[in-house]
């Protein structure tokens, strides 16, 4: 399957309204830093939780992210098979951070990519 990808440099800053950012990293990775407004569902839970999450995807394009783009590619392929308009972030949040794009945390720690 050919998985659509987006490069950080090809994404507008700020991200457009209506773009759902789905972070499929593990909890500790999410807690270290994530894209503001993104949704978090660890990749290993995506399949079993898809039915409860299906309305989250509601026709919006979904940018799937992880650390370097491998897990998110698998998650994007799964979502595409479910009929979701999903795109994988090439290089993941490592590329995002290197490009100077902002990350946030849910507490006062400075964000990082684990």
Structural domains in the chain, sorted by start: 5-98 (3.40.250.10)
Both structure tokens of 51? 């039915």
Phi-psi region of 70 (alpha: psi -120 to 50; beta: other; left: phi over 0): alpha
Question: Which positions of the chain have pLDDT values less than 50?
Answer: none
Task: Look at residue 56 in the predicted model and tell me its pLDDT.
Answer: 87
Task: Catalytic residue, from 22, 43, 66, 79: name it.
Answer: 66
| Partners of 5 in the β-ladder | 88
66 is annotated as an active-site residue: yes
């Amino acid at each position: 399957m050919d998985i659509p990808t987006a490069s950080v440099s090809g994404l507008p800053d700020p991200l457009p309204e209506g773009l759902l950012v789905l972070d499929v990293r593990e909890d500790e990775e999410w807690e270290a830093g994530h894209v503001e407004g993104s949704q978090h569902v660890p990749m290993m839970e995506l399949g079993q939780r898809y039915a409860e999450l299906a309305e989250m995807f509601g026709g919006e394009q979904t940018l799937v992210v992880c650390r370097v783009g491998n897990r998110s590619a698998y998650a994007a392929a799964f979502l595409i098979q479910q009929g979701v308009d999903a795109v994988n972030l090439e290089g993941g949040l490592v590329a995002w951070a290197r490009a100077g794009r902002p990350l946030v945390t849910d507490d006062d720690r400075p964000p990082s990519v684990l």
